[in-house]
Structure 1
Amino acid sequence: MYGSQAKAYNVYKNNSINFASKEQLLLMLVDGAVKFSKIGRQAIVDKNIPKSHENIVKTQDIFYELMATLDVNKGGEWAKQLMSIYEFIVRTLADANIKKDVKIMDEAISLIEQVKDTWHEAYKVSKQNG
């Protein structure tokens, strides 16, 4: 991309984030979590410790954000279960990061993908009923 094209793309990209609904932002977060966790896993395989650490921490940060925005009081039992899953993912990522263990990362990625799929499905259902 050249000058003005790059600027136009960046404006579009920033506005797509600025004008995204809460639900769309949540989907962007869970999509990012899958992406960063897979980059972190591959970096472990490649023995690139700084890159693995950076991407695992990015994934953890996404789940800390999801935890901070999850209203357990309003969401009831479902939200409490989801919070437990988020906490488990963060602990599993920390363990994988410390041990640089691909098998532990695979476990975390599987859970992260399930969370992503759940949120994408919930979003589709909400659009059909909305």
Structure 2
Amino acid sequence: MYGGNANAYNAYKNNSVNYASKDQLLLMLVDGALKFAKIARQAMLDKNIIKAHENIVKTEDIYYELMATLDVSKGGDWAKKLQSIYQFIIDRLVQANLKKDVKIMDEVIPLIEDIKNTWDEAYKISKGVR
């Protein structure tokens, strides 16, 4: 019985990504970045270096993906500023990972939260939901 439920969940999860709009995928990415950053921070506190590293790398990968999808030619100055914020977050995550420094995570997690909240709000506005 459990195996069937796990398969059904995996099928649902895969389909939710396969059928998501670009906007929804972006929201999934920023949600994931925040989740992984928080897991990494807790892993540092728990002295679980491997788990901290893996989750920081996942967070970095999401920000690399977000940078790759930014259309600077259409987004102009706004996109360039966003790109520099993404790069700053990646740079700080690299430092946090190298030093296993919770203080750097405490600095960067609020930025990740702000970006997530901004994209959530932009999505709601674009859909006429408030």
Count of residues in Structure 1 that have an aligned counterpart in Structure 2: 129
Whether 1:39 and 2:39 are equivalent positions in the alignment is yes
Q: Which moved more, 1:110-119 or 1:6-15?
A: 6-15
1:31-70 alignment, distance < 5 Å: 31-70=31-70
Return the letter of the residue paired with 2:101.
Answer: D
Corresponding residue for residue 74 of structure 1: 74
Corresponding residue for residue 83 of structure 1: 83
Corresponding residue for residue 99 of structure 2: 99
Percent sequence identity is 72
Corresponding residue for residue 28 of structure 1: 28
- Structure 1 residues not aligned, in runs of 5+: none
Q: Please state how far the C-alpha of 1:4 moved relative to its aligned partner.
A: 2.5
Q: TM-score, normalised by structure 1?
A: 0.95
Corresponding residue for residue 110 of structure 2: 110
Q: Please state how far the C-alpha of 1:46 moved relative to its aligned partner.
A: 0.8
2 CA distance for matches of 1:5 and 1:77? 47
2 CA distance for matches of 1:14 and 1:93? 28
2 CA distance for matches of 1:42 and 1:88? 21
Structure 1 residue matching 2:127: 3-state secondary structure: helix
Q: Please state how far the C-alpha of 1:9 moved relative to its aligned partner.
A: 1.8
1 CA distance for matches of 2:97 and 2:8? 38
1 CA distance for matches of 2:19 and 2:28? 13
2 CA distance for matches of 1:5 and 1:45? 34
Return the letter of the residue paired with 1:39.
Answer: I
1 CA distance for matches of 2:105 and 2:11? 35
Return the letter of the residue paired with 1:113.
Answer: E
Q: TM-score, normalised by structure 2?
A: 0.95
- Over the residues paired in the alignment, what is the CA RMSD in angstroms? 1.1
Q: Please state how far the C-alpha of 1:6 moved relative to its aligned partner.
A: 2.2
Corresponding residue for residue 127 of structure 1: 127
Q: Which runs of 4 or more aligned residues in structure 1 lie more than 6 Å from their structure 2 counterparts after TM superposition?
A: none
